[in-house]
Amino acid sequence: MKILDPISRILMDQKTHEKFTIQRREPQGWSDLWAVLRGHFERFAIYNPLGLVAATTFMFNLKNPWWHASIHQDQYSINAYAFVLSHNLPSEAWEYVIETPRPAIVILLLMLLGNWLLSFWGSTMSGRKGKRFLLLGGVFMLIYTAGFYGSLLYACHRVGKPVVGQFSIQAGVEVIAQVFFLKAYYQAIGAAALTALSSLIHGWIPIRLHRRSSNKADSGSAPATSP
């Protein structure tokens, strides 16, 4: 499959690249893609522990809502997660809710997973290429948090309400609603920024999780002497 060839070239680390250069050929097909992946994990090392921890922290923040609407002293509520909305509003107030379509949820989850994989691969790859992967992963995470704010702004604008603040709505009777961003959202922004900024210290404190190869033959051994 032709599409595998550029993927192999993108994921290939320096050592594997040198092997293909010696063979005077480019990676092709599934077998070479597997060789690229195997080569990466055979010499597995974490070249940027800070970036990997920050990217993983971003992912952990996905399990908590990023935005909350408290209605009638939290008798009713809306929770906006990074990829889906949940609420317990009565049917009279459903006009204030814009549901995320299921195909969009799948796409958003794949985007989030892709951002983490990009950061993971960068943090476990040496040199400038690993640094670029990590920087892109952090930047894409920041773009995602900005997109989350933009989608909320659009949804609130459609129903004529602010993203942050206090207002009244009709839910059978007139009730007070308070809307605000939660700690998880700010933590996600911080983790994304730290992922991108960690590229500045890429490779400073590598953690090698593989054994260095050693020569089995000892060319400098002393000859045996007879008694």
Tell whether 223 is covered by a domain.
no
Residue span of the structural domain in which 178 resides: 48-208
Q: What pLDDT score was predicted for residue 94?
A: 64
79 and 29 in one domain?
A: no
Tell whether 90 is covered by a domain.
yes
Residue with the larger pLDDT of the pair 176 and 119: 119
84 and 171 in one domain?
A: yes
Q: What pLDDT score was predicted for residue 221?
A: 40
34 and 55 in one domain?
A: no
168 and 151 in one domain?
A: yes
Q: What is the DSSP letter of 1?
A: -
26 and 108 in one domain?
A: no
Question: Which of 63, 11, 62, 56 is CA-nearest to residue 194?
Answer: 56
31 and 104 in one domain?
A: no
The token pair at 94 is 């459903």
Instruction: Round to whole Å and give the CA distance between 140 and 133.
Output: 11
- The top-scoring range by mean pLDDT among 52-61, 65-74, 103-112, 115-124 is 52-61
Please write the tens of the pLDDT for every residue from 28-38.
Answer: 667 666 666 67
Q: What sign does the dihedral 58-60-62-67 (CA atoms) show?
A: negative
Tell whether 220 is covered by a domain.
no
Residue with the larger pLDDT of the pair 177 and 80: 80
- % the chain with pLDDT above 90: 33
Contacts of 28 (CB under 8 A, 6+ apart): 4, 5, 8
Q: How many domains does the chain have?
A: 2
Q: What is the reported pTM?
A: 0.79
Q: What pLDDT score was predicted for residue 40?
A: 64
Tell whether 151 is covered by a domain.
yes
24 and 121 in one domain?
A: no
pLDDT at 188 over 70: yes
pLDDT at 23 over 80: no
Query: Residue 209 in contact with residue 46, Cβ under 8 Å?
Result: yes
Instruction: Round to whole Å and give the CA distance between 195 and 185.
Output: 15
Query: Residue 100 in contact with residue 125, Cβ under 8 Å?
Result: no
For the residues 64-85, what does the mean pLDDT come to?
Answer: 85
Please write the tens of the pLDDT for every residue from 196-223.
Answer: 999 998 878 877 765 555 444 343 444 4
